Amino acid sequence: MSVTTSNAYGKISISDSAIAKVAKSATLECYGIVDTVSRKLTDSLSEFLKKRTDGKGVKVVSSGDRIYIDINVIIKYGVSINAVAESLKESVKYKVERFTGMIVDTVNVNIIGVKL
């Protein structure tokens, strides 16, 4: 799907894949985040076969003008999980809203692993 808006000059459509790339970029800029990872074996398999690597570990669902984001991450050992997750949510929400001009309804952070 995609998020669509229009103004006096025409219609703007942003794909979920483009939003996932922005969310992944914002995620990797956050302190304490090592990488994003896929949660399912089938996702990992498709990445291995080079079918889709752009938004690895980020799932974006759009409904109307609302955006829902799920992020699967590996964090550094020794950081506060709560502080890193809250910082990640705020950063992703801000950057995606600024990029799209739409409302990000939820950002769910799933900690898949810890890197020593």
Which pLDDT score, from 0 to 100, does residue 43 have? 55
The Cα 61–Cα 23 span in angstroms is 12
Q: Which two tokens stand for residue 6?
A: 């229009």
pLDDT attached to residue 2: 80
User: Which pLDDT score is estimated for 66?
Assistant: 86
Q: What pLDDT, on a 0 to 100 scale, did the predictor assign at position 89?
A: 97
Nearest-angstrom CA–CA distance, 34 and 101: 28
**Residue-by-residue pLDDT tens, the chain, 116 positions:** 788 877 788 888 889 999 999 999 999 999 999 999 987 655 555 555 555 556 789 999 988 778 999 999 999 999 999 999 999 999 999 999 999 888 999 999 999 999 98
- What's the confidence (pLDDT) of residue 3? 83
CATH 1.10.3720.10 assigned to 2-115:
no
Domain positions in the chain are 2-115
Question: What is the rounded CA–CA span in Å between residue 4 and residue 67?
Answer: 11
**Beta-carbon contacts of residue 53 (< 8 Å; ≥ 6 apart):** 47
Q: What pLDDT does residue 51 have?
A: 54
Cα–Cα distance, 105 to 8 (Å, whole number): 26
